[in-house]
Amino acid sequence: MVIITGLGRCGTSFLIRYLKECGVSIGKNVHWHDEVNAGYELSTFYSPVHDVYDRYCKVGKDINLNDECRGEYWKGKTYREVFDLVDKDDRQGEVKVVKDPRVTWHPDIISAINEARQGNIKVILCHRKVEDVIASRERLSARYGDPKPRKVIDEYHVDFSRFYTRLLEDNIIHRILFYPNFVDQFLHTWCMLESLGIHIEMRVAKEKWEKLAWNIHN
């Protein structure tokens, strides 16, 4: 399973939307939100990820993969079972790629998922200048009258650094895409996807890419 993640507002939604339009399986419980130009997060993946963060990481506890996952969908399953079964659940259909920025919230999350799947994960880490991440979040917050993002630049830098360090420590196969630059780098991105086992016929891949990239630029 390939996990697309990043600090948010850094191209993860562009990439998962592109993959979906190319026919790559991302599960059934996904939705696109036009108002924020983002989405396609698999709810049966991000819900336990968020739960693990709230239950352990946020309060300074070690993640216990043998605890029962909270919520109705995965009732009776441990976190270990949930993270291992998320792409094998018949109710979801086929799942080859999932997207969730929450994975970067604490480095223990990616370690827990990696352990549960016995090292059988790959990560695409989308990144962007942190100043631009914050500016994008502020624009979005202002549009809906929400408070400005609570994190400051240094905190985002720490989140990214800790997460990336953990990828290296755990020897997790990963690739990095820098946004918005990679939107203009079709061949580079296509080759990267191929290297992770995401195979898309070149003609289809280029046609879909150019359409989405045009929308980004216009």
Of 165, 172, 80, 170, nearest in space to 123 by CA: 172
Confidence of residue 147 (pLDDT cuts 50, 70, 90): low
Pick the CATH number of 2-217 from 3.30.310, 3.40.50, 3.30.1480, 2.40.70: 3.40.50
Q: pLDDT tens for residues 64-103?
A: 999 999 999 999 999 999 999 999 999 989 999 999 999 9
pLDDT exceeds cutoff 70 at 216: yes
Predicted TM-score (pTM) of the model is: 0.94
DSSP string, 77-88: -BHHHHHHHTTT
More confident residue, 37 or 76: 76
Residue ranges of domains in the chain: 2-217
Task: Determine the pLDDT at residue 149.
Answer: 59
Residue 100 CA: distances (Å) to CA of 27, 35, 146, 177 = 13, 18, 22, 15
Tell me how far apart the alpha carbons of residues 7 and 12 are, in angstroms, rounded to a whole number. Answer: 9
Residue 77 CA: distances (Å) to CA of 30, 70, 98 = 21, 9, 20
